[in-house]
Amino acid sequence: MRALAVFPDRRELRMIDVPEPVRRGEREVTVRIREVGICGTDREIGAFHYGAPAPGAERLVLGHEALGEVIEVGSSVSTLAPGDLVALTVRRPCDAVSCVACRAGRQDFCVSGRFVERGIHGADGYLTELVVEDERYLVKVPHGLAEVGVLIEPLTIAAKAAVDLDAILRRYPWEPVGLRALVLGAGPIGLLGAMMLVARNVTTFVYSREAADSDRGELTRSFGAEYVSAGDTPLSELPPRIGNADVVFEAVGAARVAFGALPALAPNGVFILSGVPAAGTPIEIDLDGIMRDIVLKNQVLFGTVNASRAAFEASVRQLEQFMGLFPDALRSLITHRATLEDAPELLHRPGGIKQVVSLAA
Ligand SMILES: [Zn+2]
Ligand SMILES: [Zn+2]
């Protein structure tokens, strides 16, 4: 069967032929992959900047944002049946006995750093036709989400952030109502994060570089958030333009933008960092001012990476809610669909919002 693989040592990215995977354990499930989303991580791996094959292997099959269909299940599988749609989780627990996170099934909080991520680090991914996986790493998806289910994995970033955000908001001795949020970046994660906030009745502003009358600006307004273009409003003018934000959700992966937006964070506000910046030239920022503000305004900054099974399940519920609230906006996040054969080209040609490789017959 076909697969898209990267050979880091030879600096090659190409379609290869691989044997079909074989089910061995009773709890294993054979999944036919239907769609795989492409993101910046895939592009970095495809450009040989990141990622690693399994130990001893020379190539890594790419793809980690996947929606599939169950075609066979082992005799002990109890939660899934052939025909079910599933989202495939990405991170697998490390082997460290002392890693309390992985031992508790929360490998998104792994402390040893020796975790494996399918399609990214240490295990093959999902840009192929068939995958065998333990049922505990597969999350059932309602058929009504078939056309957007590929967004479940990117949405887990916001779903996990929302759980942590709620925990932090519980420190207030009052009910946090009438919240205002600023989302930095109008890529898939930023827009999904903005949808999550709007769905929670948070007044939401999305700040990004595209023009106010761009497709992204229009899309943002279509689901009930406001769009502010960096072209019209420099970072320094954000607070007077939109007021203070109780929550900032960063999804640009650029420290200059993230920390430049800190003055817009309200007293007692929460700033969520989800982007991963590439190594770049050091920038100069007023750290004394930032630290003073964080202390004197009781602010919280936290980072969030990967997702637990619970976050995938929350993401499925969230996506169902979005489908009810703003189905057209949700659908229009997927701007390109390509075949598996065209996937290598897709990796080299960023564009639109979310690009998806479609393997469905
Ligand atoms: Zn991704
Ligand atoms: Zn661990």
Count of other CB atoms within 10 angstroms of residue 78: 8
Total residues belonging to the chain = 361
3-state DSSP call for residue 295?
helix
Distance 213 CA to ligand 1 centre (A): 27
Dihedral, CA of residue 189, residue 195, residue 199 and residue 204, to nearest 10:
100
Tell if the pTM clears 0.75, that is, is over it: yes
List, in order, residues 6 or more apart from 330 with CB less than 8 Å away. Answer: 148, 151, 195, 223, 319, 322, 323
Closest ligand to the CA of 153: 1
Closest ligand to the CA of 116: 2
List, in order, residues 6 or more apart from 22 with CB less than 8 Å away. Answer: 132
155-303 topology per CATH: Rossmann fold (3.40.50)
Dihedral, CA of residue 183, residue 184, residue 185 and residue 190, to nearest 10:
-30
Distance 101 CA to ligand 2 centre (A): 6
Beta strand residue intervals within 8-113, DSSP E: 12-17, 28-38, 60-61, 65-73, 85-88, 91-92
Beta strand residue intervals within 111-162, DSSP E: 116-118, 122-123, 130-134, 138-141
Instruction: Please give the Cα distance from 68 to 129 (Å, whole number).
Output: 9
Domain boundaries in the chain?
2-148+334-358, 155-303
Helices (DSSP H) in the chain: which residue ranges?
40-46, 100-103, 152-169, 188-199, 215-222, 238-242, 255-260, 287-296, 309-325, 327-331, 343-348
Q: pLDDT 10s digit of each residue in the chain, 361 long?
A: 999 999 999 999 999 999 999 999 999 999 999 999 999 999 999 999 989 999 999 999 999 999 999 999 999 999 999 999 999 999 999 999 999 999 999 999 999 999 999 999 999 999 999 999 999 999 999 999 999 999 999 999 999 999 999 999 999 999 888 999 999 999 999 999 999 999 999 999 999 999 999 999 999 999 999 999 999 999 999 999 999 999 999 999 999 999 999 999 999 999 999 999 888 888 888 999 999 999 999 999 999 998 899 999 999 999 999 999 999 999 999 999 999 999 999 999 888 999 999 997 5
Distance 180 CA to ligand 1 centre (A): 27
Q: Which of 196, 157, 169, 127 is CA-nearest to residue 308?
A: 157
List, in order, residues 6 or more apart from 151 with CB less than 8 Å away. Answer: 37, 65, 188, 192, 319, 330, 333, 334, 354
CA–CA distances in Å: residue 238 to residues 125, 129, 142, 184, 322: 40, 46, 40, 11, 28
What residues have a C-beta under 5 A from ligand 1, the ion? 39, 41, 65
Distance 157 CA to ligand 1 centre (A): 10
Instruction: Please give the Cα distance from 189 to 247 (Å, whole number).
Output: 16
CA angle 27, 30, 36 (to 5 degrees): 125
Reported as half-sphere exposure (CB side, CA atoms, 13 A), residue 91 has a value of 24
List, in order, residues 6 or more apart from 173 with CB less than 8 Å away. Answer: none
Q: Which of 153, 119, 128 is CA-nearest to residue 44?
A: 119
Q: State the pLDDT at residue 167.
A: 95
Q: State the pLDDT at residue 278.
A: 83
Domain 2-148+334-358 has CATH 3.90.180.10: yes
CA–chain centroid gap for 178, Å, is 27
Using the Cα atoms of residue 47, residue 206, residue 233 and residue 275 in order, give the sign of their dihedral. negative
Cβ atoms of 207 and 230 within 8 Å: the answer is yes
Bridge partners of residue 183, in order along the sequence = 206, 249
Instruction: Please give the Cα distance from 179 to 270 (Å, whole number).
Output: 11
Closest ligand to the CA of 50: 1
Distance 116 CA to ligand 2 centre (A): 9
